[in-house]
Chain A
Amino acid sequence: MNEQALRWRSMVGVWRRHAVCLLRTWKVALTWFLIEPAFVLIAMGAGVGRLIDELPGHGSYAEFVTPGMIVGMAMFHALFECAWGCFNRIQQGTMETMLTAPVTLAELAAGEVLWGATRAIISTLAVGGFALMLGWLPISALPGVALIAAIIGLQFGAIGLCFAAASPSLSTLTLVFTVLATPLFFFSGSFFPIEVLPQWLQPLAWLAPLTPGVHLARGFAVGAMDMTHAWSALYLAVLSVGFFPIAVKLLQRRLVK
């Protein structure tokens, strides 16, 4: 039902619920936050990277792949929280129960997406921190990369929420990972420059919703920006707010009958 403007405190209340949950299981969460970046970065940078020569303008392969990995992981974390997490809580009825508090549906959705972005930032600080130690990411790049990761978190948090609200079952929900996230992860310029793709595929790769994030993060990492980054920033801005109203609509259809 249509209601007044978003109330900040209610959104923070939703966010806080997730923070409390994370802190309840902080030991598991902490291990994961430490192991995951080590895993990912070492496999890509030190493993694959040793087989690959320097990339012109990017230094080593490890330096090239690091911002892409950071943004890709940010996407996965936000999607996981908002698709899987919200789907479960819709199924268990706790999402519906939260609406019996003085909170609107849009505030509930906003709180979920803010949490998705928070997870993206945490992941970025973990992977980024590790990359700093290895010398694969300059410290000056970290704030910019973290900002991009946060925006990617908002964007994919909203996308995840759309899937959570629209999925009738777990098997349709997993499509968000198999059909959306995994191809995006590989074809958004994280692992190789888009220029090496076949001509006809390049425009598609540039339009993929993860590409602007990767492109901008790499711009921060390299420390040089051009017009293409301005376009990416514009596209990212549209993507980061564009899915939220759809998520609210779908959630409304799911929860308000």
Chain B
Amino acid sequence: MNEHDSVIRVNGVVKRYADLCAIDGISFAVQGGETVGLLGPNGAGKTSTMRALAGLSPWDQGQVSVAGLDAATEGRRIRQIMGVVTQHDGLDNELNVTQNLELFGYLAGVSRTAVRRRAREVLEFFSLTGRATDDVDDLSGGMKRRLAIARALMIDPEVIVLDEPTTGLDPHSRAQVWEKLAQLKSAGVTVLMSTHYMDEAAILCDRIAIMDHGRILALAPPHALIERYAGGQVVEIRLDGAERQILRDALRASGVKWRELGALFRVLDGDTDLTALQELAGVRIERRATNLEDVFLRLTGKELDDE
């Protein structure tokens, strides 16, 4: 990769809050037009990383730049070309939908006519035109989220960072947001997003950074992550009448490692010989292709939704 192609460059960044290390030495780069996802559990450091990029919070070591601008000193110039979607919508409930958008145009120094036109465009793009003069409190959760993303587009950004764009939305609303993000990507916008959702990361991202405890554990395209860290298959065993303890004993006797996920037993190595278990009554053994979740499990030793 040519370093001049990188729009976002993060180099050896460390950020501490008192004795807690929120970002523990991370480095990565995002190329122009690329979509990169930060995938990690609560407290992994996703928000901290994005705030540093936008020049919104200071860090202790390392360099951060966007489009060649140093985030430590040129946050405003960065935010002039980079839209920021925060984890919480942060909509202004004393303003209506259009006014929320226009505010961000004016803050960016855009002229009145251009602000008006742009607000109409982004409302149209997010199918919110019918809600233009509504109070934001009257919007559904999915509409609020779309409005928060629309707000970041008021500056017509080259880069956009989205902190958990679809958390808390129903499947239909999530798909709507994905559709818009895909359109932005095809328009050439560089995207850095964080998410808790494997499917979201797999669908939208060219590359995924798996984060935990302020570190990036792996950074690669989704399929490469799966090949490298999860192997071809996993075995899952469901109880179908048998006692948990009986299955546990049988697994231990065959010398395999497993994890229990509710009623599901997941064998970590798909190539293990499980013939001994097939005789056991009341269990169902299934093999399935591995996915990002298995990568995550392998790398962090925990499920994404573990606390």
Distance of A103 Cα from B93 Cα, bound (Å)? 20
Query: With the chains together, A97 CA to B88 CA distance in Å?
Result: 9
- Cβ of A7 under 8 Å from chain B: yes
Contact string against B for A residues 83-107, beta-carbon threshold 8 Å, 1 for contact and 0 otherwise: 0000001001110111111111000
B76 touches A17 (CB 8 A): no
Q: Which of B56-103 contact A (CB under 8 A)?
A: 56-58, 72-77, 79-80, 84, 86, 88, 90-96, 99, 103
The answer to whether residues A103 and B103 also contact, given A9-B109, A17-B92 and a CB cut-off of 8 A, is no
Task: Indicate whether A179 reaches chain B with its CB closer than 8 angstroms.
Answer: no
Beyond A14-B107, A20-B99, A101-B108, is A1–B73 a contact (Cβ under 8 Å)? yes
| A103-B107 contact, Cβ under 8 Å, with A1-B72, A96-B90 | yes
Flag if A98 contacts B107 (CB, 8 Å).
yes
* Distance of A27 Cα from B77 Cα, bound (Å): 39
Interface size on B, residues (CB 8 A): 33
Q: Please, what's the 1-or-0 string for A242-257, where 1 marks a CB less than 8 Å from any CB in chain B? A: 0000000000000011
Cβ-defined contact, B90 with A94, below 8 A: yes
Q: Which residue of the partner chain, among B54, B58, B84, B106, contacts A12 with CB atoms under 8 Å?
A: B106
| Chain B residues, CB < 8 A from A24 | 94-96, 99
CB of B155 closer than 8 Å to a CB of A = yes
A17 interface neighbour in B74, B103, B155, Cβ under 8 Å: B103
Note all chain B residues with C-beta closer than 8 A to A31.
none
Number of interface residues of A (CB under 8 A): 30
Verify if B55 is at the interface (C-beta below 8 Å from A): yes
Residue B178 is within 8 A (CB to CB) of chain A in the complex: no
**Could you tell me which residues of chain A, from 96 to 140, have a CB within 8 Å of some CB in chain B?**
96-104
| Binary per-residue interface labels of chain B (135-159) against chain A in the complex, 1 for a CB within 8 Å, 0 otherwise | 0000000000000000010010000
Q: Is A3 an interface residue (CB 8 A)?
A: yes
A256 to B107 alpha-carbon distance, docked (Å): 19
Partner among B54, B57, B92 whose Cβ is within 8 Å of the Cβ of A94: B92
A28: interface (CB < 8 Å): no
Determine the chain B residues whose CB is within 8 A of the CB of A20 once the complex forms.
95, 99, 103
Q: State the CA gap A103–B92 with chains docked (Å).
A: 17
A4 at interface, CB cutoff 8 A: yes
Inter-chain contact B90/A13, CB cutoff 8 Å: no
User: What are the residues of chain B within 8 A of A98 when measuring CB–CB?
Assistant: 103, 107
Q: Is the CB of B77 within 8 A of A17?
A: no
Give Cα A60–Cα B198 distance, bound, in whole angstroms.
78
**Interface flags, B144-182, vs A, CB<8A=1, else 0:** 000000001001000000000000000000000000000
Chain A residues near B75: list those with CB within 8 A. Answer: 1, 3, 104
Q: Are A13 and B106 in contact (CB under 8 A)?
A: yes
The CA-CA distance from A255 to B35 in the complex, in Å, is: 29
Nearest-neighbor residue (CB-CB) of A18 within chain B: B94
Please measure, in the bound complex, the distance between the C-alpha atom of A46 and the C-alpha atom of B108, giving whole angstroms: 50
Provided the pairs A10-B107, A101-B108 are in contact, do residues A17 and B95 lie with their beta carbons within 8 angstroms?
yes
For window 168-183 of A, CB contacts with B under 8 Å fall at none
Contact A102 B109 (CB under 8 A): yes
Q: Are B106 and A9 in contact (CB under 8 A)?
A: yes
B104 within 8 A of A: yes
A17 to B57, CA, bound (A): 24
B108 proximity list for chain A (CB < 8 A): 10, 13, 101-103
Query: Can you give 26 contacting A-B residue pairs, CB < 8 Å?
Result: A3-B76, A4-B76, A7-B109, A9-B106, A10-B109, A13-B103, A16-B106, A17-B92, A17-B106, A20-B99, A24-B94, A89-B92, A96-B90, A97-B91, A98-B103, A99-B56, A100-B90, A101-B104, A101-B155, A102-B108, A102-B155, A103-B79, A104-B76, A256-B56, A257-B17, A257-B57
* 9 tightest Cβ-Cβ pairs between the two chains A and B: A97-B90, A13-B106, A101-B107, A9-B109, A100-B84, A13-B107, A102-B79, A102-B80, A103-B107
